[in-house]
Amino acid sequence: MAITSANQLELLQTAEAVAREKMIDPSLVVEAMEESLARAAKSRYGAEMDIRVAIDRKTGRATFTRVRTVVEDEDLENYQSELTVEQARQYMENPQVGDTLVEEVPPVELGRIAAQSAKQVILQKVREAERDRQYEEFQDRKGTIINGVVKREEYGNVIVDVGRGEGILRRNEKIGRESYRPNDRVRCFIKDVRRETRGPQIFLSRTAPEFMAELFKMEVPEIYDGIIEIKAVARDPGSRAKIAVVSYDNSIDPVGACVGMRGSRVQAVVNELQGEKIDIIPWNEDVPTFLVNALQPAEVSKVVLDEEAERIEVVVPDEQLSLAIGRRGQNVRLASQLTGLDIDIMTESDESARRQKEFEERTQLFVNTLDVDEFFAQLLVAEGFTNLEEVAYVELDELLVIDGVDEDTAQELQARARDFLEAQAKAAIEKARELGAEDSLFDFEGLTPQMIQALAEDGVKTLEDFATCADWELAGGWTTENGERVKDDGLLEPFDMSLEEAQSMIMTARIALGWVDPAELAAEEDAAAGEENAEEAEA
């Protein structure tokens, strides 16, 4: 095949035909032709040469050029594609390093082998372009629902024809024991799209919470229009689900809109999900209120929220316990997923027993430490006193409200509490000293003798040791192991130290030791605050 003798327009016609067939840009096909012709020309003129080919997009004429780059004398390595400044003066005026010399060379005749090679290059480029187009197309559709046709099933995984590509619906992404036959139509959620050498891999799902959210968006116009927003979804695929919705129009009931006339809207979603029962719940920014809604149909007597631990205690009537927990813990598990909190459910009798135990423990504490009788200790607990510090350092007026307590009695109570606390502190100091705690810890503001003793018992004996601790090592925290949240006890957690307090104390220690520059720290905090404000403004 000779480029010079062939009908040059055939190149463009071929490129357009291939581009139409594969639905890609014709210029990509022309670029592939240029590369294949350049490769053939290099085999003719020499692989060391930098031969380039340009095909005119209008006439189809192919121009072959040889390109040489001007380099420094000492950098000259390839005489075929480089030349020195001195050599370049023969062809150019005032040549500079980095300039290129372009010379046209005669077109090459493509032999059989070269033509076959050119064809392979073009096919490879076309395949790559087709894969890129598929990837971009499905990447844009990631997070949406797609309709497909089942092609085959392999080891429980379903291969789905989704138009210009194939998707895979894995066994664990199917609802219950769904089975499909070839040519069955299936509706799936595009969970992920990955670029791989053999083409884009499209991962489908029917169990993802987002699949249910997208189905409701299709069935409920108010969600599609943004009047109603789906705030959270929790699913036990094929069995039960909870979906939290909120309306931004006071005249529209979000739950009623999602249910539809005679349940038509929610029933359409239920049918698609193989009969999955759906609880539609009104979302509320007040977490306890939202949780009470999420635990429907069970009734809730009381909610106690621990925001720091991201845990919540729910008290229900004794007869409502099984309903609140649900079959195999399903109801409470879905409510936990919906709210993002760990939920502890207890009955009213359990909570009453726990409160009675706490009452007795605090009563005994005051009996043992303040040398008062049980009745008087119970009065203190009933007034809300939980520890000796509160008794020792509270305003005198708060003790005087207790029946039978005059000013002299209140002062005596405080004196006894302070004496006991001072004795505890002295004993803690002596114990910490025995364990090797150094003055740097005792001089550090914010650490009590009892805290220093607890640190020393765990090997933290100097300010340097303290500064190397992580915040969760001091205040405690939660980690997830095998899908379950596990409590990590902190060294200073018994002293009610929060993560924020631990972070502040550790950073103060590092600044005192000269490990951290306060000016740099302030600049980082300002930058972080600026980024946060910018993100809020964008939102």
218 contacts 271 by C-beta, under 8 angstroms: no
Instruction: Report, at the CATH architecture level, how domain 436-538 is classified.
Output: Orthogonal Bundle (1.10)
What are the domain boundaries of the chain? Answer: 5-126, 141-207, 436-538
Alpha-carbon span 159 to 177, nearest angstrom: 16
The two three-digit tokens of residue 212, written as one number? 């249910």
- What number is the average pLDDT over the span 154-178? 83
Alpha-carbon span 333 to 236, nearest angstrom: 9
pLDDT at 225 over 80: yes
**Beta pairing class for 302-306 and 477-481:** unpaired
CATH of domain 141-207: 2.40.50.140
Alpha-carbon span 409 to 317, nearest angstrom: 42
Alpha-carbon span 344 to 324, nearest angstrom: 11
- More confidently predicted of 268 and 46: 268
Among candidate residues 277, 384, 386, 365, the one with its CA nearest the CA of residue 327: 277
Which segment of 266-270, 521-525, 531-535 scores lowest on mean pLDDT?
Answer: 531-535
Other C-beta atoms within 10 Å of 28: how many?
Answer: 19
Amino acid at 135: Y
Structure confidence at residue 46 as a pLDDT band (50, 70, 90): confident
pLDDT at 2 over 50: no
Beta bridge partners of 147: 187
236 contacts 278 by C-beta, under 8 angstroms: no
Alpha-carbon span 308 to 337, nearest angstrom: 18
Which segment of 23-27, 164-168, 466-470 scores lowest on mean pLDDT?
Answer: 23-27
**Beta pairing class for 277-282 and 240-247:** parallel
CA angle 57, 62, 67 (to 5 degrees): 110
Domain over 5-126 is classified CATH 3.30.70.20: no
pLDDT at 69 over 70: yes
pLDDT at 439 over 80: yes
Alpha-carbon span 321 to 464, nearest angstrom: 51
- What number is the average pLDDT over the span 78-105? 76
260 contacts 221 by C-beta, under 8 angstroms: no
pLDDT in tens, 286-345: 888 888 888 888 888 888 776 665 667 888 888 888 888 888 888 888 888 888 878 888
Alpha-carbon span 446 to 495, nearest angstrom: 12
- More confidently predicted of 143 and 75: 143
CB hemisphere CA count around 143 (13 angstroms) = 2
Q: Return the sign of the alpha-carbon dihedral for residues 271, 274, 277, 279.
A: negative
> What's the whole-model pTM score?
0.58
414 contacts 391 by C-beta, under 8 angstroms: yes
Rounded to a whole number, what is the largest CA-CA distance in the chain?
119
pLDDT at 6 over 50: no
Other C-beta atoms within 10 Å of 419: how many?
Answer: 13
Among candidate residues 166, 159, 170, 162, the one with its CA nearest the CA of residue 146: 162
Alpha-carbon span 377 to 379, nearest angstrom: 5
- Three-state DSSP string of 96-142: CCCCEEEEECCCCECCHHHHHHHHHHHHHHHHHHHHHHHHHHHHHCC
Q: Report which DSSP code applies to 468.
A: T
Alpha-carbon span 503 to 475, nearest angstrom: 9
Among candidate residues 70, 93, 72, the one with its CA nearest the CA of residue 83: 70
- What number is the average pLDDT over the span 112-135? 69
- Domains 141-207 and 436-538 alike in fold: no
What DSSP assignment string belongs to 38-105?
HHHHHHHH-TTS-EEEEE-TTT--EEEEEEEEEE-GGG---TTTEEEHHHHTTTSSS--TT-EEEEE-
Residues of the chain above pLDDT 90, percent: 11
Q: Could you tell me the CA-to-CA distances from 278 to 95, 145, 252, 274 in Å, in that order?
A: 76, 19, 20, 11
The two three-digit tokens of residue 4, written as one number? 């010079």
Alpha-carbon span 363 to 78, nearest angstrom: 93
The winner for highest mean pLDDT among 111-120, 151-160, 427-436, 478-487 is 427-436
> Would you state the pLDDT for residue 231?
92
